[in-house]
Amino acid sequence: MTEHDYNPIREARSQSREKVALVNKNKVLEERVLRQLDAMKANPAFDQRMVSIAYTGIQEAFMWANRAVFQPGRVKLPEDAD
């Protein structure tokens, strides 16, 4: 596995190419679903509140899926002991 050494986010872990590729694949899948929901949002025949809840749920689900891959940690603060 090749690791990406540079990450400008504080305390972020280096990620393999495979993990980055998986998250990028997830982003494409998420975009396809969100575009379907955008089409539903444009149609007043659908319950717009339910569409909005679905939109938020999809965003949240993919966020958790991507966090499962990247496994972010907590940030150390200056006052923390080494």
User: What pTM does this model have?
Assistant: 0.79
Domain ranges for the chain: 15-70
Banded pLDDT at 10 (limits 50, 70, 90): low
pLDDT digits (tens, 9 = 90+) for 43-66: 999 999 999 999 999 999 999 999
Token code pair at residue 61: 């689900």
Asked if pLDDT for residue 5 goes beyond 70, the answer is no
